[in-house]
Amino acid sequence: MPGFEKFSDLERKEVNDVLETGVLMRYGFDGMRNNIFKAKDLETEIENKFKVKHAQLVSSGTAAVSVAMALAGVGAGDEVIMPTFTFVASFEAILMLGAIPVLVDIDKTLTLCPKAVEKAITSKTKAIMPVHMCGSMADLNALKSICNTHNLKLIEDACQAIGGTYNGKYLGTIGDAGCFSFDYVKTITCGEGGAVITNHNNYAVNADLYQDHGHDHIGKDRGAETHPYLGYNFRISELNAAIGLAQFKRLDEFLEIQKKHYTILREELNGNNNIEFRTVPDGGVESYAFLNFFLPTLDIARKVMSDFKSEGVDVCFHYYDNNWHYVRKWEHLKEAKSLFPLSESVKQGLSKIAKQGFSQSDHFIGRNISCLIKIGWTEEEVKKRAIKMAAIIRKYS
């Protein structure tokens, strides 16, 4: 991770195919295309690889989450349970639909704590959205059981964990819908892009409509298409899809490199009494996009991060002090800073977040360091990096 480290002639060839047709838009202009449809081809690749009935490409991972929520019927005044540790896009996608993000604590998995989820359910709860952060997953068996008991939808945000599995199934295929991001720093990149996957036929039809202004895509005259439902413009371009198509064909190659580099780092750090690795739920296999571990205290984590930076150990993150990924620094959410008026129900929901304490999440995120696994490293670079990291951490034993 990320895939841009490995651009090759395959990506260039797919892009050139599109440029030679001159058709950069996904829909229409069929006579000019010479049967070149990169978005359709990528959707087929995703369906075949992940053994899922339907894949719908969209313009971003954020769009994927918002589309998935709409498919599940989430709307004005509904509550969606999500974790305190995620990217800001998670609550943005919920708010886009007029729904209310309900934040709950994480556990040692660095994902949703099922006990905290159970306590947060109200009569307004419509969906639970686990976010498979940093290459690993939530306890999906527990969350599915909760959803079944309370008749809720399960939406998987697998944007940071493409290729990971749970009980032999790919992440994103286990809930009612799954979401991927193909932005510039993901394992598979389109530059900008995303996808919704599902096994529900009605979700698939509605996703196709919703992401393209409600067009029904029946017939060959775009201007004559009807609009069964309101929709929005979440389309992906053929150029973005072309890059993603080449990258997706290389997914197994990228995952193998990630696992190799992850393993070198973990084996060097293993046995250090200062370190506890994140918990991966039983039956789970990470995508190996990040190596995550806990140090004894917040203070030690901060000192280690400071030493990492001064010693040139890059792409490691202490999310407790990060502005994008942890609730502690989301003042714009807590203070409901919006360019447009928010509904009263949304404002009330956000005011609750502002007053909440998340001590359990603080306990884990404060002590966590997350190391991105680059696929562009050489094996020698990974080994040197591992030795340096281990030496820095040992200073605080």
pLDDT digits (tens, 9 = 90+) for 330-344: 999 999 999 999 999
Domains of the chain: 3-250 (3.40.640.10), 253-394 (3.90.1150.10)
- Phi and psi at 253, nearest 5°, equal -60, -45
> What's the chain's average pLDDT?
97
User: What was the pLDDT predicted at 1?
Assistant: 86
Mean pLDDT of 11-34: 97
> What is the distance between the alpha carbons of residues 20 and 27, in angstroms, rounded to a whole number?
17
> What is the distance between the alpha carbons of residues 199 and 216, in angstroms, rounded to a whole number?
20
DSSP code for 236? P
Token representation of residue 160: 């940071």
128-183 pLDDT tens trace: 999 999 999 999 999 999 999 999 999 999 999 999 999 999 999 999 999 999 99
Quick check: 295 and 273 in contact, CB under 8 A?
no
Q: Which of 129, 115, 78, 149 is nearest to 346 (CA)?
A: 78
Query: Any residues with CB less than 8 A from the CB of 270 and at least 6 apart, and which?
Result: 277
Query: Any residues with CB less than 8 A from the CB of 84 and at least 6 apart, and which?
Result: 103, 104, 105, 106, 326, 327, 358, 361, 365
Asked whether residue 28 carries a pLDDT value surpassing 90, the answer given is yes
**Strands 125-128 vs 153-157: parallel, antiparallel or unpaired:** parallel
User: What was the pLDDT predicted at 119?
Assistant: 98
User: What was the pLDDT predicted at 33?
Assistant: 96
Asked whether residue 11 carries a pLDDT value surpassing 90, the answer given is yes
Instruction: Give percent above pLDDT 70 in the chain.
Output: 100
Residue type, 197: I
Asked whether residue 201 carries a pLDDT value surpassing 90, the answer given is yes
Longest alpha-carbon distance in the chain: 70
57-104 pLDDT tens trace: 999 999 999 999 999 999 999 999 999 999 999 999 999 999 999 999
CA 83, 111, 92 angle in degrees (round to 5)? 35
Asked whether residue 309 carries a pLDDT value surpassing 90, the answer given is yes
Predicted structure pTM score: 0.97
Asked whether residue 184 carries a pLDDT value surpassing 90, the answer given is yes
Token representation of residue 276: 């506890």
Asked whether residue 397 carries a pLDDT value surpassing 90, the answer given is no
Quick check: 111 and 131 in contact, CB under 8 A?
yes
User: What was the pLDDT predicted at 237?
Assistant: 98
Outline where 32-112 has alpha helix (H). Answer: 38-50, 61-71, 89-96
